[in-house]
Structure 1
């Protein structure tokens, strides 16, 4: 089991460090590196806390009609004692028309060191939902993940899934919500030795929320993917505490099960704190 404890805060030291890079010696003395590390910690804690968020918790999400989205890319190259290059790009596009909402996301990561490829990853998702009413909806979900450097039978070169099914809101009150969805589809897997397998896949998901009071609420998210070759189950249980306007905490327990692995279950306990002063 992995245990993670993260603490993020806005302090006088952090505020001072935020302005430190204006000095030329910041990089050489390590001040800029520390400031970057503080940013990384804050980002990791924020991401952990945002796992409790759900824009479809209390009803069908409302999106801007028509086409919208964003894109970003980054590149870095290094020469001298060693040579390396890194390139990353990502885009998310959404098209909403009435009750029909479609979203496409893609991420690319490429890198090489001394002319040898060290990363060649592609990840794409297609998600479409049609909302019949406040309780019932249908979905189409497509996903593909590719590792261009997979070279052996134990490496996964391509993992893809396309499925569809219904979803339903079982409970929808200010203090408790619960929605479920399930579907059937096709899963395709290919390893680094060019062995491939296509079989029927089944997916099921559950999203549960319960508010104990104005300061404490719990969430439990479950996802299941079953195919002829494997069964994968992820369950994320979390409790969020808001002590004051400046102090909030999330305690979570993430379980990842996959019966195709030698050790089938991984467990992760996380504690994230955010303080402002």
Structure 2
């Protein structure tokens, strides 16, 4: 089975172990937040407030990463190189469920590889459901991630935030709510400006296996892109945009001829994430 190489190319690697609390930057007010944790080219904090969609039942927290100018970090699927973030919540207490979501990423291109991630800063929304809403939640995170520029630096940060019951009835944190609005939506939750998947054509046999995907971008194709994920650790090449778009309809191609994974994809459910400047959507598609 082919797996994502997640290599660093020829980039130098340094391990970050510095966890010095910094001074919070000037930003929108948050209901609860940890101090900033410094990690050389990045700093990290936990923020939290009420969940507007489940008022009184869950918190909407966020893991915020702010990077030095020119640095980047990665999405859940980093692309041709890089390392996805790893969120370890095992030290938390009074939690029924903790779910991290990912704002729409962008394509990161350098001479050695095409990657998927974020520049400058990102906030990952985290839905936290308490086991007992009448008691405080102790949210403990051990985070592993990577930041890259000319070098790629694996980084670690540990944070602890207490979420009191009263926070469930408070206001959502605008910073987290804005990040949540940038998370790609499923078809039932799609907004009018979000991309629409029109169809997938799969040719999995023969010498030139390929996936072709067609999508409509109702608010225009500025920033239009597609990221395709396969299950079971199968690594897919990056989708490439095809020429000839019309009426906000864009076609993409995933060339499978050199990856050798085409036979493994039969019957598999792919996750297609469509992004644009105006919105983003996520669709599951099962191959024949």
- TM-score bucket (shorter structure): under 0.3
The structure whose residues are more often strand, as a share, is 1
Whichever structure has more helix as a proportion of its residues is 1
Q: Which entry has the higher C-alpha Rg, 1 or 2?
A: 1
